[in-house]
């Protein structure tokens, strides 16, 4: 209970808080006591201060003297010694909430540890390289922003077989070095083994970024998919032996399952650390001969949503063959990433609001589709499929109804493969290839899908069946319910009373696919568009670097060759 002393001093006496009697305390505050109404006000104010004080004391948050129960300066020496931290239920709940926020994807706390501890330690111990350490060999690829070579060391080093890949990149190489270093620390097995990156200024063409990876092998998933022998050509390299099964759907299914599991595993690693690749396609998946697994390459278009690097909401980077219909990984209403510490603090909220990882999931779904349907492995057929799917409002079941009655042997084979084990493969596929990002499964949830239980649906245990039911329940379309809630909110929303107005809500609603496709684009036009977008996005990123807005967050980590 709080009282006002004749002199206007406010004295707080202990009040029970959650059944616990708290130690006495006092606060001195000058309050006029001349009028009764003012007295009432003062008492109310005193109650309020009392309650707030007790709340903070209860949850263990406050100034040292209140928390440590040390009383007035005058009487402090007479008080019993503090018995340490008081653990209360609200305190524990608050702490748990704070911890789960800090550890929620993309991980604010692990991010700080990574940036301020791991990155520094790594810099002390990692081997460094210079341009002269390498002899460049065969050209492996050339993209819009760099050339990739196979390379070997000019002088052998201990414990080094000397097989490398070097990418000489333009300005955007800085972003790619940042992403590769982040990945190496957070989920090294997801991507090709990154060794080192530096800025080389002595080149005649101007400054160039050199990126070094271990040479993983010569096969990309794109190359393997083009072989008539797929998936048997992958079977031996991935499983290490030929399966004791006759050639047929069941055997092919096992190989495809293994590839899918590896791809989802790699993607889950990236997403868990807040990186969205944005350019997942068979050309960017390499088979690592050393670890007998598929790994992701080419992080040049990736966005690090933990600190907002390479993330520009109104721009997108995409290969039209594999891109999700939303084109943007974040809502265009989301503001451009603020400074890195602020972006990091807000990242769990933005991640949950936008679920940007589902952009990559759509691309993986299309790769799954290509593995199952031989006829969709060529570029032209994939582009045609994309058009058909768009006409079906991105509903795979509707597409199936459209094409199955007049399907050729290749298409029928795909449906049969996905229908094995009670259609569990088809179910996984349809949970990845969906119009709305929010309804797509995450990489982690996909890995737990019964499709990956070796024996299939029929052999599922009771527990697994329950998990399956749970999975199906969580895959329901709840957008109608969400719309209903939005409607309710709309009714109460006016300019005067607050809440959301109709116009504001309109922006919140997800846009449905347009029924009619716009003018049909051919593959060349799409490729040109992609290139233009890439150039524009990189230009914007470079502008940001030039502005000095983001330089600190990646450029300063990159060693320079003077
Ligand atoms: N670690 C690696 N090990 C073996 N080969 C690699 C490795 N990294 C890249 N490659 C090869 O180099 C090619 C080009 O690599 P990457 O996609 O990263 O470059 P890029 O400049 O972005 O090219 P593009 O724009 O054509 O994708 C790949 O298709 C792959 O064949």
User: Is the pLDDT reported for residue 227 higher than 90?
Assistant: yes
Could you tell me if the CB of 286 is within 6 A of ligand 1?
yes
Could you tell me if the CB of 275 is within 6 A of ligand 1?
no
| Residue 516 pLDDT | 43
Q: Render pLDDT for 520-529 as a digit per residue (tens, 0 to 9).
A: 556 556 656 6
| Residue 403 pLDDT | 94
Could you tell me if the CB of 300 is within 6 A of ligand 1?
yes
Q: Which of 46-60, 125-139, 374-388 has the highest mean pLDDT?
A: 374-388
Q: Which of 133, 279, 319, 360 is catalytic?
A: 279
Share of the chain above pLDDT 90, in %: 38
Q: Is residue 168 part of an annotated ligand binding site?
A: yes
Contact, 440 vs 434, CB < 8 A?
A: yes
Q: Is residue 160 part of a domain?
A: yes
| Residue 515 pLDDT | 43
Name the packing angle between helices 249-272 and 358-372 (round to 10°).
Answer: 170
Closest C-alpha to 424, from 444, 451, 403: 451
Count how many Cα atoms sit within 13 Å of the Cα of residue 54 in the half-sphere of its side chain.
21
Residue whose token pair is 């298409």 = 411
**Known catalytic residue at 547:** no
Atom of ligand 1 nearest to the CA of 146: 21
User: Is the pLDDT reported for residue 249 higher than 90?
Assistant: yes
ipTM above 0.90, yes or no: yes
Compute the distance between CA of residue 225 and CA of residue 377 in angstroms, rounded to an integer: 7
CA 166 to chain centroid: 27
Compute the distance between CA of residue 355 and CA of residue 445 in angstroms, rounded to an integer: 14
Q: Is residue 97 part of a domain?
A: no
Q: Is residue 539 part of a domain?
A: no
Mean pLDDT score of the chain, rounded to an integer?
75
Ligand 1 pocket, mutate which of 136, 137, 141, 318 (most atoms under 8 A from CB) = 141
Per-residue confidence band for 537, with pLDDT thresholds at 50, 70 and 90? low
The H-assigned helical ranges of 216-375 are 221-226, 232-239, 249-272, 340-354, 358-372
Closest C-alpha to 134, from 198, 88, 193, 224: 198
Q: Is residue 14 part of a domain?
A: no
Strand duo 194-200 + 560-561: pairing = parallel
SS3 for 483-538 is HHHHHHHHHHCECCCECCCHHHHHHHCCCCCCCCCCCCCCHHHHHHHHHHHHHHHH
Dihedrals φ, ψ of 560, to 5°?
-115, 135
User: How much of the chain is in helix, strand and coil states, percent to nearest 5?
Assistant: 50, 10, 35
Number of CB atoms found within 10 A of residue 234's CB: 23
Burial class (CB in 10 A: 0-12, 13-18, 19+), 154: exposed
* CATH number of the domain residue 219 falls in: 1.10.510.10
Q: Is residue 259 part of a domain?
A: yes
Q: Is residue 38 part of a domain?
A: no
Q: Render pLDDT for 430-471 as a digit per residue (tens, 0 to 9).
A: 999 999 999 999 999 999 998 997 555 555 566 666 666 666
Q: Which of 162-171, 418-427, 476-485 has the highest mean pLDDT?
A: 418-427
**122-131, 186-195, 324-333 — which is least confidently predicted?**
324-333
Total number of domains in the chain: 1
Share of the chain above pLDDT 70, in %: 61
Could you tell me if the CB of 148 is within 6 A of ligand 1?
yes
Contact, 285 vs 192, CB < 8 A?
A: no
Report CA(162)–ligand 1 centroid distance (Å): 18
Report CA(341)–ligand 1 centroid distance (Å): 32
Structural domain for 300, as ranges: 119-456+464-471
**9-18, 80-89, 225-234 — which is least confidently predicted?**
9-18
pTM of the model: 0.71
Q: Which residues pair with 20 in a beta bridge?
A: 17
Q: Is residue 518 part of a domain?
A: no
Q: Is residue 477 part of a domain?
A: no
- Per-residue pLDDT, averaged over 183-205, amounts to 89
């Amino acid at each position: 209970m709080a009282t006002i002393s004749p002199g206007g001093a406010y004295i707080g006496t202990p009040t029970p808080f959650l059944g616990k009697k708290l130690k006495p305390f006092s606060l001195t505050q000058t309050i006029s006591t001349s009028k009764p109404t003012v007295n009432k006000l003062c008492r109310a104010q005193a109650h309020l201060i009392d309650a707030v004080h007790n709340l903070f004391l209860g949850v263990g948050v406050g100034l040292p003297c209140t928390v440590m129960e040390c009383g007035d300066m005058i009487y402090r020496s007479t008080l019993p010694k503090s018995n340490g931290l008081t653990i209360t239920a609200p305190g524990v709940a608050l702490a748990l909430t704070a911890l789960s926020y800090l550890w929620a994807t993309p991980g604010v706390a692990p991010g700080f540890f990574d940036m301020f501890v791991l990155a520094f330690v790594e810099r002390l111990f990692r081997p460094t390289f210079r341009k002269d350490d390498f002899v460049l060999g065969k050209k492996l690829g050339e993209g819009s922003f760099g050339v990739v070579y196979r390379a070997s060391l000019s002088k052998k080093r201990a414990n080094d077989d000397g097989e490398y890949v070097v990418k000489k990149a333009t300005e955007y190489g800085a972003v790619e070095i940042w992403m590769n270093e982040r990945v190496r620390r957070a989920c090294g097995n997801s991507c090709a083994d990154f060794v080192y990156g530096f800025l080389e200024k002595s080149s005649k063409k101007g400054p160039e970024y050199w990126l070094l990876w271990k040479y993983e092998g010569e096969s990309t998933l794109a190359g393997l998919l083009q072989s008539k022998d797929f998936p048997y050509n992958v079977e031996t390299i991935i499983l290490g032996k030929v399966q004791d099964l006759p050639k047929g759907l069941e055997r092919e299914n096992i190989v495809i399952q293994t590839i899918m599991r590896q791809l989802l595993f790699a993607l889950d690693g990236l997403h868990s650390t807040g990186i969205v690749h944005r350019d997942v396609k068979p050309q960017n998946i390499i088979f690592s001969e050393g670890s007998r697994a598929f790994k992701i390459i080419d992080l040049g278009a990736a966005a690090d949503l933990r600190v907002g690097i390479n993330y520009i909401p109104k721009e997108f980077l995409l290969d039209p063959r594999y891109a999700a219909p939303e084109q943007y990984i974040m809502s265009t209403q989301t503001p451009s990433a603020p400074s890195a510490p602020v972006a990091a603090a807000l990242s769990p909220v933005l991640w949950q609001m936008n679920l940007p990882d589902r952009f990559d999931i759509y691309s993986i779904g299309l790769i799954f589709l290509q593995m199952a349907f031989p006829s969709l492995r060529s570029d032209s057929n994939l582009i045609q499929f994309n058009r058909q799917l768009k006409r079906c409002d991105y509903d795979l079941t509707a597409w199936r109804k459209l094409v199955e009655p007049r399907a050729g042997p290749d298409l029928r084979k795909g449906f049969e493969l996905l229908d094995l084990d009670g259609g569990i493969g088809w179910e996984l596929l349809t949970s990845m290839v969906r119009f709305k990002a929010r309804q797509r499964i995450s990489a982690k949830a996909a890995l737990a899908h019964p499709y990956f239980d070796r024996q299939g649906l029929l052999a599922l245990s009771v527990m697994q069946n329950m998990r399956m039911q749970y999975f199906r329940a969580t895959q329901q379309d709840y957008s109608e319910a969400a719309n209903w809630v939005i409607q309710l909110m709309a009714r109460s929303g006016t300019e005067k009373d607050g809440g959301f107005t109709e116009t504001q809500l309109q922006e919140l609603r997800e846009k449905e696919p347009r029924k009619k496709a716009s003018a049909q684009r051919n593959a060349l036009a799409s490729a040109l568009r992609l290139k233009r977008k890439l150039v524009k996005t990189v230009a914007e990123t470079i502008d940001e670097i030039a502005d000095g807005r983001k330089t600190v967050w990646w450029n300063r980590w990159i060693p320079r060759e003077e």
